Structure 1
């Protein structure tokens, strides 16, 4: 009987969530992109994210919010504003507390004092549309609309799940109020609710987002941002007198394992291999084409192997192996990951190995490079090269991440450029030459000695003995 009653209550909660989503106008197929800010009183719920430049999909958002819903407080506050874009925080928010006229003082204070925080600049409208249903399904509780006054009268049981919905009433596009006044008014309402939760000493997790954007976010050249953070390749302003060209979505990153939470991600604009003078472009087969087998890949906390297996390349089976390693460095008090090795083999022949050098990144970040070649500055063959002399690998705009992958999308990336790049060496050498000239000139000035005798033109000439 108790199990049947619990199932009935859960079904009722899901029906409430679906009806609420329709009443709010949250269509699951909306293409809008809105920011989402999440924070909690519980610590260490999310790893340091790097979702900037990516549109978080519904599945990715569910994975990102999973730790908070599983291990976090049972009270969840969902704050929905009519319109909001990441540009509003730039235009009307404070900068490290130095801007006294910020429109978000309560929101900034809550984020600063939170035990855990997650900031997603771009979330797909469909993901926001499914958010009430997702939260209700995870908590097993129907959404309850609240405000500051009603929340003070409500006694929350922290051991039971509760989904609180705060609908901010004003619209950012109101003609009666300036945008700053609208945002400030909404922030005051949010502050009242947060104060009520603090007075009741209720641990909670809060999510702040909007129903639609107040600005249209665009990528480089005016191209709209797409999932996985890639803008339309080659998109830009249309030429005068020419019709719009068809636009294609860039392929998704290669992920392993194909099912379940992603462990390793790889993306490149171009991947080509050369074997004994013969070149093959494998970009289409690798990304989005399904022509690559990842069955030989593996993942361990200290080492990850991504094995790309292609059939019928150079007359046999081609294997490309990316080896990434992670280690803890006490000097920096953090763990670092780097591309340690790339191997290429054909059939059962001996592999050509290229060893990585430099290019390490902190493990919360991925690793990217505008152009990666083997052999190249970051991948060198061993000495003697052996089978590696027959191979050559080129990747353009490559990004790889094998540790701390969250939500199936790339985190922030550390560029592969070394600290002492050619430009850095030019600046150091030029500065050293200028400093040397300055030191030499100063030494000459210090060695100057004044005359100890002076000739007065108005008096008799000063005799100087010839011996002096």
Structure 2
């Protein structure tokens, strides 16, 4: 009987949280989960339809109906940022419960089956931000912002309404911890608070939500306004063409994408640079170069792009050689793009990139511009005289040679530095102003008054003169 009850609760929660799969993910909404102790029904309103976004006015109706019968000791677990993806990716209702980031939250939902619990997967962002004010107006009491340690010293009364707001200390995307660890920390706080309230044997109503969606910024901002600094990137699914993909034993192991691939060759006969764009010959659904000669394993990856009739050469190959190594200093594995090679009509030109192009082994590498002549990341190999006759220029370049999962890049390590020119100007200007201020304070501390003044009533000060 208990297993059947738990199965129904899990199915209900899973169906509610999975509703967005039928309509696409909407990052402008925040989920809201509400439950009560003792099996008290929350609301007489029907749960929202699959994919429906609950508006601010509808949220007011849900809260009013729920609080009309639910206990008026309300626990509001307020997180800074939260999105439905946090449940779908890390919640146990979608996989092995041992790997769930929400064991305490799911246990509370299982102990309060419908209609004692209410799951609103998608609630309008402005409506959720007004939840504290709506609860305060409905309960007629001022909110108390508490921590678990403070709550243990507070005695609740079932006959007196109380609005207790517990600000969860973590928010995904703003901490150096992994998202799952961040959410697990929040769940532990929820479990501590619920244990304290249960010890006091006071009926309660609990709400878990957030002030903002955690994944709205990346989709709301226009491409022109996005930062070009260091960030974690992935190729957009709306890219005009998919990346070049090399498979070994049926699984992808190398991915390459660029907005533009351009090579230039210096013709001695014409005494000029001849430029050729390889983009249209490299990317696209119907046009793909031959990948004969490519290979990959745990430590070495080699991507070979074979072309025909490039700049008058009958055979032309663009080769990317990558290596994976363990570095003791960082205690992790990194991959480097050791060389970019050009093979054409029996000749060879080599460019080194291992010192400049590198990323953690589980990441991909991205750079807005990779070239061999301006702010060069690719350095012509001195042992190859032919390298000086070539110039390479790759725009919005991204490559991954290890840890590839499907046709999507892993998060990317960007080549942009942490300090932009504007930051350097600000630091240098601040340093200059600090030096001027220090010099001024030093001069003020060195001021001294005269030890003796001329007294007209006394003997005159005589200054001996020497001839």
> Structure 1 length as normaliser, TM-score?
0.51
Q: Is the 8 A contact 1:261 1:408 kept in 2?
A: no
Tell me if 1:282 matches 2:278.
Answer: yes
The runs of 5 or more residues in structure 1 that have no matched partner are 1-19, 36-79, 85-99, 109-118, 137-146, 155-165, 197-212, 233-248
Report which of the two structures shows the higher radius of gyration computed on alpha carbons.
Answer: 2
Over 3 Å counting, the alpha-carbon distance change for 1:388 and 1:177 in structure 2 is closer
Q: Is the 8 A contact 2:248 2:295 kept in 1?
A: no
Tell me if 1:253 matches 2:259.
Answer: no
Q: CA RMSD in A?
A: 5.9
Over 3 Å counting, the alpha-carbon distance change for 1:304 and 1:448 in structure 2 is farther
- Which residue does the alignment assign to 1:162? none
Over 3 Å counting, the alpha-carbon distance change for 1:461 and 1:333 in structure 2 is farther
Q: Which secondary structure does the structure 2 equivalent of 1:103 belong to?
A: strand
Over 3 Å counting, the alpha-carbon distance change for 1:122 and 1:149 in structure 2 is closer
- Which residue does the alignment assign to 2:378? 379
Deviation sequence 1:32-81 (CA, Å, 0-9, x none): 4569xxxxxxxxxxxxxxxxxxxxxxxxxxxxxxxxxxxxxxxxxxxx99
May I ask how many residue pairs the two structures share in their alignment?
326
Shift of 1:365: 2.7
Tell me if 1:307 matches 2:304.
Answer: yes
Over 3 Å counting, the alpha-carbon distance change for 1:231 and 1:461 in structure 2 is farther
Query: Which whole-Å CA distance do the structure 2 matches of 1:177 and 1:444 have between them?
Result: 58
Deviation sequence 1:131-187 (CA, Å, 0-9, x none): 99x979xxxxxxxxxx85895699xxxxxxxxxxx9954464499998747999xx9
Shift of 1:360: 3.1
Shift of 1:466: 3.1
Query: Which whole-Å CA distance do the structure 1 matches of 2:303 and 2:457 have between them?
Result: 94
1:97-176 equivalent positions in 2, closer than 5 A? 102-104=77-79, 168-170=118-120, 172-173=122-123
Over 3 Å counting, the alpha-carbon distance change for 1:148 and 1:357 in structure 2 is closer
Query: Which whole-Å CA distance do the structure 1 matches of 2:449 and 2:127 have between them?
Result: 80
Query: Which whole-Å CA distance do the structure 2 matches of 1:432 and 1:25 have between them?
Result: 54
Q: Is the 8 A contact 2:16 2:120 kept in 1?
A: no
- Which residue does the alignment assign to 1:401? 400
- Which residue does the alignment assign to 2:292? 295
Query: Which whole-Å CA distance do the structure 1 matches of 2:258 and 2:358 have between them?
Result: 19
Query: Which whole-Å CA distance do the structure 2 matches of 1:171 and 1:436 have between them?
Result: 56
Over 3 Å counting, the alpha-carbon distance change for 1:294 and 1:102 in structure 2 is farther
Over 3 Å counting, the alpha-carbon distance change for 1:24 and 1:403 in structure 2 is closer
Over 3 Å counting, the alpha-carbon distance change for 1:423 and 1:222 in structure 2 is closer
Q: Which secondary structure does the structure 1 equivalent of 2:280 belong to?
A: helix
Shift of 1:335: 2.3
Shift of 1:262: 2.6
> Structure 2 length as normaliser, TM-score?
0.51
The runs of 5 or more residues in structure 2 that have no matched partner are 1-12, 29-49, 55-74, 97-105, 136-164, 166-185, 196-212, 225-232, 267-272
Q: Find the partner of 2:365 among 364, 367, 386.
A: 367
Q: Is the 8 A contact 1:327 1:335 kept in 2?
A: yes
